[in-house]
Amino acid sequence: MALNLEDEIQYLKGVGPAAAKKLNRIGISNIRDLIYYFPRTYEDRREVNTLRDVKEGEKATFRFKIVQHTRFLYKGKLHPKITVADESGKAYLYCFNRDFITNALKVGVVFHLTGAYSNKRGSKSFSQFEYDLDTSAPELKILPVYRLTAGISQKFLRKLTDYAFSHFRENFKEDIPGFIRDGYKLGKKGALVREIHFPGDMDALRRAKEAFSYSEFFKYQLVVALARNSSKKIKKNRSACPRQLKEDFLNRLNFSLTKAQQRVLEEIESDLNESRPMNRMIQGDVGSGKTVVALLSGLFAIERGGQIAIMAPTEILARQHLKTTSRYFQGMPINISYISGSIKGVRRKEIVLGLLKKEIDVVIGTHALFSEDIVFRDLSLVIIDEQHKFGVLQRGKLRAKGEHPDCIVMSATPIPRTLSMIIYGDLDVSVIDEMPAGRAAVETYITKQAEIEKVYDKVAEEVREGRQAYFIYPIIEESKNADLKNAIDSYNRLKDDIFKDMNVGLLHGRLSDDKKDQIMDMFRERKYDILVATTVVEVGVDVPNATVMVIEQAERFGLSNIHQLRGRIGRGSDKSYCYLVPDRSTSRDAFNRLRILQDTSDGFKIAEYDLRRRGAGDVLGKRQSGIPYFFIEDFEVNTKLIYRAQKDARRFVKGEIGPEEERGRFLKAFIKSDSYKSAMYYFGG
């Protein structure tokens, strides 16, 4: 049976159902996924080193001869120990649970080994290494290094990828205009992708990455240009707005808007007086006041007779929005409702009917808002919080429930300008870059495990003075596959031993929605002094009395995640403290990465730094629907590529570049693509 790129990975020669399940864990479901599963780094094995020339801990390639086989005892079992040598000396291979290796590495065999040695009792030893037999003098090369999962080795993945390329080299469709590909000498897509996996040299790898990145940037920017061009053709009949609700709202506030909030509100009001649909992002750090601005914007929609939908990615955040919105709109002639997957039966029917009859002005919910039975009479404004948690198509589904509604997306996760250009194209961006008066600064400290007792003392001191604290852990309960501290065991230890005279609560994602609400209400009402939690408190939790946060195994979190988490404290007038406690085994590099959190509280600077170090995928979380794959490694180079691709895409749409016949033929095929349709949903086309 002839396979194609969309066929499941299990049908590729050498895989099968068992290996397919393991590959699925790293996102490889079909053959196309495998081909586009790019290396995270590379090993340059072209240079052969000697033991004398390489320092301890440095990864390198050596040419050894097998001298002797012996065994060593570890945990009651004998394992192979192989003596090897080169011209400069001897070393020992400690082969844990690798009995099979003695059949390949026989005495007298010459082979290549790649690894880093350590000095043990004056002897050089390897315990983790890869090897290639030298019987036919194989060509040393640059090898890809992939992200793996249990049961999948680098050698297996390299062999599988190479096999896929050899059998599907004709299946790569060129997906950018030929005159652009030829003009920039980008090369054919299949050749570029193969070069990225198996580069001939580092210069060729750099050129292939840049060419591939430009191609992806161009496609996405073309989608954006076409979709935005279509959106601009839409004309909305805007009626005059009396602004009475806005004035009532402002008079009810017990604080004044910051200058930044006022500026952003003016930008939104200007949008709402134009004939085209508004499509604006509000960016701002945790606690900067994005929600107030969004709700003020919603009053214009309500006064014009429209309805508002507010969507959040989690139940806890959606419920927080319900409480906040109800508090702000209290006493005003506005009907508010809440919808989630757990609301069923008569109550759900009441909400569905209320929206259809326009008896409900504001509905707040999670993914339940996508449901087919949720139908609006006149959806005028969509407000989406933590927008990076939703895919392009998901946002489009909600907007499609109205007649070209206006859209505000909010993010407390600052996204660098360059990354915003990649993902959101020409989305109008407003930034609230000023914090409200009275917010206390958060002092952040990196604390070693050996000094954790001092942290406990500080927590106890704050609690005795009437304040509260958070302890954050990376996972809920013990995992066999990861050496991570977990919330449940830590909760029991903190409650029964360290803080046994205090009230300690536990909050995590597996609890029911009602239980989460109950625990948060108890913490807010000071019935708990300390709350042990996972990242479920990252957004949507507002307890001004909480002044201390301890994040265990902080190296396991992204910098922007930690910045979000520490935004849960410092929400009142009291001085606040965040303690980042890395694991004892944390590398120096991972430890140093946390230092920027000590140096700045500017979320944009942190996000920019995180992007440079970790790449777009890790900064944003899971890959979003409709967002293509980009290399974000050489930040400056890719910034230039993005601008160039954007300029070329806009000129292409205007008909300023390329032969008209070829441009028309390409566009005809392009607008049938899923990525274009997704973007059209998002931009309101």
Check whether residue 251 and residue 362 sit in a common domain.
Answer: yes
Q: What are phi and psi of 430, to 5 degrees?
A: -115, 135
Any domain includes 669: yes
Q: What is the pLDDT of residue 82?
A: 95
- Does one domain contain both 556 and 425? no
Q: Are residues 520 and 406 in the same domain?
A: no
Q: What is the mean pLDDT of residues 442-469?
A: 95
- Highest-confidence range of 76-90, 474-488, 534-548, by mean pLDDT? 76-90
**pLDDT value of residue 131:** 85
351 within domain boundaries: yes
Indicate whether 153 pLDDT > 70.
yes
Look at residue 389 and tell me whether its pLDDT is greater than 90.
Answer: no
Find the domain containing 263 and state its range.
244-432
pLDDT higher than threshold 70 for residue 416? no
Q: How confident is the model at residue 654 (pLDDT cuts 50, 70, 90)?
A: confident
Candidates 645, 667, 643; CA nearest to 655 is 667
> Which of residues 140, 155, 188 is at a domain's end?
140
Are residue 475 and residue 554 in the same domain, yes or no? yes
- Do 84 and 221 lie in a common domain? no
Residue 661 has pLDDT above 60, yes or no: yes
Euclidean distance between the first and the last CA atom of the chain, given in angstroms as a whole number: 41
Same domain, 405 and 478: no
- Residue 475 pLDDT grade (very low, low, confident, very high; cuts 50, 70, 90): confident
Residue 168 belongs to a domain: no
Closest residue by Cα to residue 379 from 169, 251, 236: 236
Inter-residue contact 342 to 368 (CB < 8 Å): no
Answer yes or no: do 419 and 469 share one domain.
no
d(CA 85, CA 223): 58
Q: Residue 59: which pLDDT band, with cuts at 50, 70 and 90?
A: confident
543, 462: one domain? yes
Higher per-residue confidence, 14 vs 539: 14
* Residue whose entry in the numeric block shows the structure tokens 């059949």: 103
Residue 500 pLDDT > 90, yes or no?
yes
Q: Are residues 556 and 648 in the same domain?
A: no
Give the side-chain half-sphere CA count within 13 A for 146. 25
With 90 as the cut, is the pLDDT of residue 161 above it? Answer: yes
> Would the pLDDT of 387 be above 60?
no
Residue 71 has which token pair? 């065994």
Rg of the chain, C-alpha, whole Å: 29
Is 380's pLDDT higher than 90? yes
Query: Rounded to whole angstroms, how far apart are CA atoms 171 and 186?
Result: 18
Q: Please state, in angstroms and rounded to a whole number, the distance separating the CA atoms of residues 133 and 638.
A: 39
Q: Is the pLDDT reported for residue 635 higher than 60?
A: no
The lowest-confidence range among 312-316, 478-482, 505-509 is: 478-482
- The residue from 123, 140, 157 where one domain ends is 140
- Euclidean distance between CA atoms 373 and 503, whole angstroms: 44
Is 170 among the domain residues? no
DSSP code, position 636: H
> Are 414 and 466 found together in one domain?
no
Residues 401 and 355 sit within 8 Å (Cβ to Cβ): no
Residue 265 shares a structural domain with residue 321:
yes
Which tens digits make up the pLDDT trace of 312-357?
887 878 888 998 899 999 999 999 999 988 888 999 999 999 999 9
| Lowest-pLDDT choice from 26-30, 189-193, 622-626 | 622-626
Give yes or no for residue 611 having a pLDDT over 70: no
Tell me if 504 sits within 8 A of 532, measured CB to CB: yes
188-225 confidence digits (pLDDT tens) = 888 999 999 999 898 999 899 889 888 888 887 888 78
pLDDT score for 626: 40
- State how far the Cα of 223 lies from the Cα of 668, in Å rounded to an integer: 13
Residue 484 contacts residue 474 (beta carbons within 8 Å)? yes
Query: pLDDT averaged over the chain?
Result: 84
The tens digit of pLDDT for each residue in 226-275 reads 877 776 677 888 887 778 899 999 988 888 999 999 999 999 999 998 88
375 in Cβ contact with 356 (< 8 Å): yes
Query: Going by DSSP bridges, is the β-strand pair 307-311/279-284 parallel, antiparallel, or unpaired?
Result: unpaired
With cut-offs at 50, 70 and 90, classify the pLDDT of residue 122.
confident
Mean pLDDT score, 13-38: 90
Q: Which residue has the higher pLDDT, 437 or 482?
A: 437
- Reported as a pLDDT band with limits 50, 70 and 90, residue 540 is low
- CATH of residue 450: 3.40.50.300
Residue 9's pLDDT band, with cuts at 50, 70 and 90, is very high
What percentage of the chain exceeds 70 in pLDDT?
87
Q: For residue 78, is it within any domain?
A: yes
The Cα 206–Cα 199 span in angstroms is: 9
d(C-alpha 195, C-alpha 169), whole Å: 12
Mean pLDDT over 369-376 rounds to 91
Structure-model confidence comparison of residues 567 and 588, the more confident one: 567
Q: Does 523 fall in a domain?
A: yes
Long-range contacts of 101-110 (CB under 8 A, 24+ apart): 102/69, 104/131, 104/133, 105/66, 105/131, 106/66, 107/66, 107/67, 107/68, 107/69, 108/65, 108/66, 109/65, 109/66, 109/133, 109/134, 109/135, 110/63, 110/64, 110/65, 110/66, 110/134, 110/135
Where is the domain boundary, 108, 140, 172? 140
Residue 53 located in a structural domain: yes
pLDDT bin (cut points 50, 70, 90) of residue 613 is low
The pLDDT of residue 685 is: 46
For the residues of 574-596, what is the DSSP string, one character each?
Answer: S-EEEEEE--TT--HHHHHHTHH
Closest to 395 in 3D by CA, of 281, 298, 230: 281
Nearest partner of 625 among 368, 312, 396, judged by Cα: 396
How many domains does the chain contain in total? 4
| Confidence at residue 47, expressed as pLDDT on a 0 to 100 scale | 81
Does the structure show a pLDDT above 90 at 532?
A: yes
- Is the same domain home to 579 and 645? no
Q: Is residue 404 part of a domain?
A: yes
